[in-house]
Chain A
Amino acid sequence: MLLNKIPRAALAALAGAAACALAAPAHASQQADAEPVATDDAAPAKPEAQPQSPGDASHDLMPLRNGGRLLLTGGVSTIEGAGGGGLAPWALIGGYGTRDEFGAQAYGTGVTSEDFALVAYGVSANIGNRIELSLGRQNFHLQDVGKSLGLGNDFVISQTIIGAKVRLIGDAVLDQASLLPQISVGVQHKINDDKTVVGGALGLKRSGTDFYIAATKLFLDKNLLINTTLRLTKANQYGILGFGGLGGKDQAYKPTFEASAAYLVTRKLAVGAEVRTKSNRLQGALGGDSFREDTAYDLFAAYTLSRNVSLTAAYVDLGHIALANQHAAYLSLQVGF
């Protein structure tokens, strides 16, 4: 039964990414004439004489030119659309844009566990390596659980996530002589569409806003990237199960903690692990452990297929969702400029 859903989830993820990629054709076309940048092909092309005064080329926030930051240094797109790991947003600004440039990313992600499938897709913009704006969409397929609850064969809970992140201080990549990490603050406003279960049967709030602060440091001489994120949230299961407790109770913000460690294997490949705690405010609701939330963990590998395309695969232990531990396969395709 699950197998039936996997290709669909994967296809939807790919379609999402493709649609996003197509939505930004200006990048591709304006790029075409320039930027044969840092390919690993055998010999560099012979330079052509081209009078140009040094340094004046890229100083007026040049949109639509291939962003100049190093491979993977914007992280990948989280399931919530922010630049980071798979689960945790990082202080890094997603996309390749430098301080003088705009950057953009689009992603499609499929996650399938024993009982559920999640499809996430979205876009993000990078303004001068200072501000990141993101728009993400998640479709959570209840599959057999939905069926057993009498919700039909393909009951889906969807939510939209509008995110913004600002880099406050530090440069995780350049400031190698300092221990100061790159520090950013971010906000994620989530709007859950489901009026049947989340807003209906459970009577939970369908929207909520998360606030987070993230600190990221690349220890380049150790090939190691470390991130920690502190989040204030009202969300249950990322917002898929709404916000706040049942019956209007337990509405206060609670802190959750997220951390990522990534080891750079090559310039193009990083492997790592993440952890993300939950606020677990629905445990005991409706009796027992039906809605208990657990800490999620993942092991990931991110690979850049080309400067603009990267692929992330992960094994995720989502912890307890709906009475059973959920172990998931995670696959994400991303394009970045």
Chain B
Amino acid sequence: MISILLAFTLMASQPAAAEPPIADPSIKPHYPTLPVITQNEHLLEQFGGKDGLTALMDDAMNRWLANPRTRPFFEHADQARIKDLLVKQFCVVMHGPCTYDGRTMAEAHRGMNVSEGSFYALVEELQVAMNKRHIAFNAQNRLIAALAPMHRDIIDQK
């Protein structure tokens, strides 16, 4: 009985990663920027660890710069910084030994007016990049499922 209760308690208390601070109090995120989705590093290992994520983001960024739907959001931006932050974010989400030092998704995308089509284009290029690195399809989907709800903080943010 106690072990069952303990199990429930453990399930309820996801290993919360501290959310980034919000500079502007008018911003109310709908969803965590760092939703940790696993209790161990098995998922991250399927991505090749932090080094694998770094290689993945190098390829994904090239694809986002090539795709007319995503290019406008990256071509004049600090691409190295964005890649670094995404590696850290994905690493934290998959319970990796990383620290995310960027802003919340809500704050980072304010005023960018990202369309739903651009959001999906980004996901799709990321999927292609993950396929190129032979990351297992279910591992890909577990990560995307963790990121997809961020759409409320990303799409159509004036």
Residues of A whose CB lies within 8 Å of any CB of B are 34-40, 43-47, 49-50, 52-59, 65, 67-71, 98-101, 129, 171, 173-178, 220-221, 223, 264-267
Contact partners of A37 in chain B: CB under 8 A: 67, 69, 121, 124
Inter-chain CA distance A29–B99, complex, in Å, is 47
Q: B116 near A98 (CB under 8 angstroms)? A: yes
A176 partner, pick from B72, B114, B145, beta carbons under 8 A: B145
Q: A266 near B137 (CB under 8 angstroms)? A: yes
A55 partner, pick from B114, B131, B141, B146, beta carbons under 8 A: B114
Q: How far is the CB of A54 from chain B (nearest CB, A)?
A: 4
Closest to B30 in A: A177
**Which 9 A-B residue pairs are closest in the complex by CB-CB distance?**
A68-B117, A55-B113, A177-B149, A44-B66, A220-B145, A38-B124, A98-B116, A47-B65, A221-B145
B63 within 8 A of A: yes
Contact partners of A171 in chain B: CB under 8 A: 151
Q: A68 near B149 (CB under 8 angstroms)? A: no
Q: B75 near A178 (CB under 8 angstroms)? A: no
Most chain A Cβ neighbours within 10 Å, of B62, B117, B127: B117
A267 partner, pick from B120, B121, B137, B146, beta carbons under 8 A: B137
Closest to A269 in B: B137
Q: A69 near B120 (CB under 8 angstroms)? A: yes
A100 partner, pick from B73, B116, B141, B148, beta carbons under 8 A: B116
Contact partners of A58 in chain B: CB under 8 A: 69, 115, 117-118
Q: A38 near B127 (CB under 8 angstroms)? A: yes
B138 within 8 A of A: yes
Given the known inter-chain contacts A38-B67, A54-B73, please indicate yes or no for A177 contacting B31, CB distance below 8 A: yes
Q: How far is the CB of A304 from chain B (nearest CB, A)?
A: 12
Q: B149 near A174 (CB under 8 angstroms)? A: yes
Interface residues on B, range: 35 or more
Q: How far is the CB of A53 from chain B (nearest CB, A)?
A: 7
B71 partner, pick from A47, A65, A266, beta carbons under 8 A: A47
Q: B142 near A50 (CB under 8 angstroms)? A: no
Closest to A129 in B: B116
Interface string of B104-131 (1 = CB under 8 A from A): 0000000011111111110111011001
Contact partners of B146 in chain A: CB under 8 A: 176, 221
Contact partners of B71 in chain A: CB under 8 A: 47, 50, 52
Q: A39 near B112 (CB under 8 angstroms)? A: no
Can you identify 10 A-B contacts, CB atoms within 8 angstroms? A38-B67, A47-B75, A54-B73, A98-B117, A174-B149, A176-B145, A221-B141, A223-B138, A264-B137, A266-B137
Inter-chain CA distance A54–B110, complex, in Å, is 12
Q: How far is the CB of A128 from chain B (nearest CB, A)?
A: 10
Q: How far is the CB of A11 from chain B (nearest CB, A)?
A: 34
Q: How far is the CB of A297 from chain B (nearest CB, A)?
A: 27
B144 within 8 A of A: yes
Contact partners of A38 in chain B: CB under 8 A: 63, 67, 121, 124-125, 127-128
Given the known inter-chain contacts A38-B124, A220-B145, please indicate yes or no for A68 contacting B69, CB distance below 8 A: yes
Inter-chain CA distance A69–B37, complex, in Å, is 25
Inter-chain CA distance A245–B117, complex, in Å, is 47
B68 within 8 A of A: yes
